[in-house]
Amino acid sequence: MSTRSSHQVVPPDGAPSASPDVIVAGAGLIGLVTAWRAARLGLRVTVVAPDEPGAASGVAAGMLTPATEAAFGEEPLTRFGLRSQERYPGFLSELAEDTAIDPGYRAEGTLQVAFDPDDLAVLTELMELRDRLGAKTERLTSRECRRLEPMLAPSVRGGVLAPDDHSVDPRRLAAALRAAAAERGAVFVADRVERVVTAGGAARGVRLGGGGTLSAGQVVLAAGAWTSLIAGPPAGTVPALRPVKGQLLRLRAPRGAEPVVTRTVRGLVRGAPVYLVPRADGEVVLGATQEEMGFDARLTVGGVWEILRDARELVPGITELEIAESCVGLRPGAPDNEPLLGPTRLPGLHLATGHFRHGVLFAPATGDAMAEALTTGRLPEHARRFAADRELRVPAGSEGVEEQWT
């Protein structure tokens, strides 16, 4: 995670010699992509984050699957996701100009399968929604599903193939974005932003956990579920983010074994979503729970058991695989479960958070939108629904979140 310029020392009680144009608080995917895109446009960027992987980014499975994720009531998210999905190949080409780190992009499509007749009925309903949104999916029989993925349980009732729903390795993508941002001159400070410093009714910089301060014309808070814990902004400026816990497992196949799945396989098992995302190195990511437990990052019996139970129903062959790692991530959820992007009501202060379970998919579109906001002061038209200073639309009766297709 070290970069050429990551060792800048901030004087404990003064500003560094040259103030950056933008300070980004947070080095998860969203903070990193914001930094990189802004730096590519010529802005001087400093990223402030503890030397730990992003809480959600380091855990995420990396599905780029707006079609198979589309759900009723989330149409704006699907549209933004489809835009970001379309942007991915170009985005990765540009990334490759700035770093040799391979982000592990896989373009085999995604197979979504139903375990029982009720699950199949849900899939059928969703196909209509997806067609309407322009998300390409293709109905498959049980036999066709198993022709694509021979290790699927014979009991699988049928499914859909989403040929454009791909995947990336979020840990590699984060490493690539960090290197690319550094290549474009971004400076990394290994500290925590404790407070936004304001003066004259505007954000002027940040105070660090280590005690120093750092000044800049613009500040972007991109600290995931922790964003609203940063002190300083006037009440009402930063909506409360809530952590949505996800537990997942990383499996490893024995060397030389046939892969248990050759593309991302998502399933509905008695109404519960589960997925298997394969990587080139034989790893398979299994996930994920969705729990509203506050800042609780404990791996639990219930979480692990549910994931294993449902994944085994779809692909019994995983039984022989090694559990190489178990992870817990905290996704940032805004009150209306939509991203919070761009300028806030406090001049100079931007947000880039609230990506919930869509952070990896939305990274390119968010990076572009944030870079535009930081250079022009306005989000692009298509991203304005997610403006950080919007009136929040909290869906009636939904404190939590629709459980399906997470």
Q: Provide the residue type at 299 as one letter.
A: L
Query: Which residue has tokens 């997470």?
Result: 406
Please classify residue 217 by burial: count the beta carbons closer than 10 Å to its beta carbon, then call 0-12 exposed, 13-18 middle and 19+ buried. Answer: middle
In single-letter form, the type of residue at position 170 comes to: P
For a second copy, the closer of residues 138 and 325 by Cβ is: 325
Beta bridge partner(s), residue 246: 329
User: What mask of x and - would describe binding to a second copy in positions 274 to 303, judged by CB under 8 A?
Assistant: ------------------------xxxxx-
Q: Which is nearer to a second copy, 155 or 319 (CB)?
A: 319
Q: Binding string, 234-263, against a second copy, x = CB under 8 A?
A: ---------------x-x------------
Q: Segment 326-345, which members bind a second copy (CB under 8 A)?
A: 326
Can residue 393 be called a binding residue for a second copy (CB under 8 A)?
Answer: no
Please identify which residue in 309, 345, 384, 393 interacts with a second copy, judged by CB under 8 A.
309
For a second copy, what does the binding mask look like between residues 76 and 115, x meaning CB under 8 A? Answer: ----------------------------------------
Q: Report, in Å, the least distance between residue 371 CB and a second copy.
A: 41
Take residue 221 and report the two structure tokens written for it: 């808070």
Residue 189 or 284: the one with the smaller Cβ distance to a second copy is: 284
Residues 58 and 34 sit within 8 Å (Cβ to Cβ): no
The residue type of 335 is P
CB of 267 to a second copy, least distance (A): 16
Stretch that binds a second copy, among 94-102, 131-139, 192-200, 311-319 (CB under 8 A): 311-319
- Taking CB under 8 A as the binding criterion, the range among 173-181, 313-321, 332-340, 376-384 that sits at the site for a second copy is 313-321
Check residue 202 for interaction with a second copy (CB under 8 A): no
> Is residue 322 near a second copy by the rule CB under 8 A?
yes
CB of 225 to a second copy, least distance (A): 19
Q: CB 282 → a second copy: shortest distance, Å?
A: 13
Q: Output 301 or 396, the one with its CB closest to a second copy.
A: 301
Candidate residues 92, 129, 133, 308; the one interacting with a second copy per rule CB under 8 A = 308
Of 3, 52, 45, 35, nearest in space to 209 by CA:
52
Q: Are strands 166-167 and 158-162 parallel, antiparallel or unpaired?
A: unpaired
Query: How many Cβ atoms sit within 10 Å of the Cβ of residue 200?
Result: 7
> How many angstroms separate the CA atoms of 315 and 333, rounded?
31
Say whether residue 396 binds a second copy (CB under 8 A).
no
Query: DSSP of 255-274, one letter per residue?
Result: TTPPPS-SSEEEEEETTEEE
Does 25 sit behind a cis peptide bond, omega within 30 degrees of 0 on the bond before it?
Answer: no
Q: And the tokens for 67?
A: 């079609």
131 vs 325 by CB, closer to a second copy: 325
Q: Rounded to whole angstroms, how far apart are CA atoms 259 and 116?
A: 25
End-to-end CA distance of the chain: 29
Dig out the tokens for 4 from the structure.
Answer: 């050429």
Contact residues for a second copy, defined by CB under 8 A: 249, 251, 298-302, 304-305, 308-309, 311-312, 318-323, 326
